[in-house]
Chain A
Amino acid sequence: DVVMTQSPLSLPVTLGQPASISCRSSQSLVHSDGNTYLNWFQQRPGQSPRRLIYKVSNRDSGVPDRFSGSGSGTDFTLKISRVEAEDVGVYYCMQATHWPRTFGQGTKVEIK
């Protein structure tokens, strides 16, 4: 199975400051069709996960533009340009290139 490793696992951030989460995969996530199926999800306390970013860098409808995704191959990053109170929660990366689908361990974002 492809192992997804996120860092850090805990991220205390000051309101208005940037935040960055790393996600590394044990194998390249480039699919034979040329796409890279790396997605990011946000899970607020008590809620279902919500997709923020698909295929590395595409923001979902309704997702604030302070969220951005980047990376290639095995190394990916989710950035929040200016953290707001509503961004508190756990963030997961997930690969959908290989079987079985696998998630990172999650990064808990909290306000300092």
Chain B
Amino acid sequence: QVQLVQSGAEVKKPGASVKVSCKASGYTFTGFYMHWVRQAPGQGLEWMGLINPDSGGTNYAQKFLGRVTITSDTSISTVYMELRTLISDDTAVYYCARTGNLDFWGQGTLVTVSS
């Protein structure tokens, strides 16, 4: 069965960076794009970007250009999302989700940005 298991919660100071991982299992890793979506406390869902794990090609939302990098390591079926120059508004739960229509989601990773 498809599973996406994300890394644990993080607490970061403003200006720092965070790197969240998403380990996939139960399917051919290189056969499906992986997306990242975030959700601020009590708010809705916001699409951040995606990666094609086969080619390494990426596509990012304009809002995050220059601040986010999504990478993959096919040897361990894991995708990473790094967000830099964190501000308090980046406090959110970050999700990975498979394919363009987001059929399977990870459990989410809470990133708290606080001084």
Contacts and interface: CB of A to CB of B under 8 A. Distances in A.
A104 B37 CA distance: 13
Interface in A23-61: 37, 39, 41, 48-51, 54-55, 60
Residue picked from A48, A60, A102, A106, most chain B C-beta under 10 Å: A48
B44 A101 contact: no
Interface residues of A, number: 21
Interface string A70-106: 0000000000000000000000101010011111111
Query: Interface of chain A, helix or strand or loop or mixed?
Result: loop
Contacts of B100: 37, 96, 101
Given A48-B95, A48-B106, A49-B95, A100 B47 contact: yes
A55 B46 CA distance: 20
Query: Interface of chain B, helix or strand or loop or mixed?
Result: loop
Using C-beta atoms within 8 Å of the partner chain, give the interface range for chain B: 20 to 34
B9 interface: no
A104 B46 CA distance: 10
A89 to B, nearest CB: 13
Nearest to B106: A48
A102 B63 CA distance: 12
Interface of B: 35, 37, 44-47, 59, 61-62, 95, 97, 100-108
Interface of A: 37, 39, 41, 48-51, 54-55, 60, 92, 94, 96, 99-106
Given A54-B101, A96-B102, A103-B44, 14 more contacts: A39-B102, A41-B45, A48-B95, A48-B108, A49-B45, A49-B102, A50-B105, A51-B101, A51-B105, A94-B47, A100-B62, A101-B35, A103-B45, A103-B46
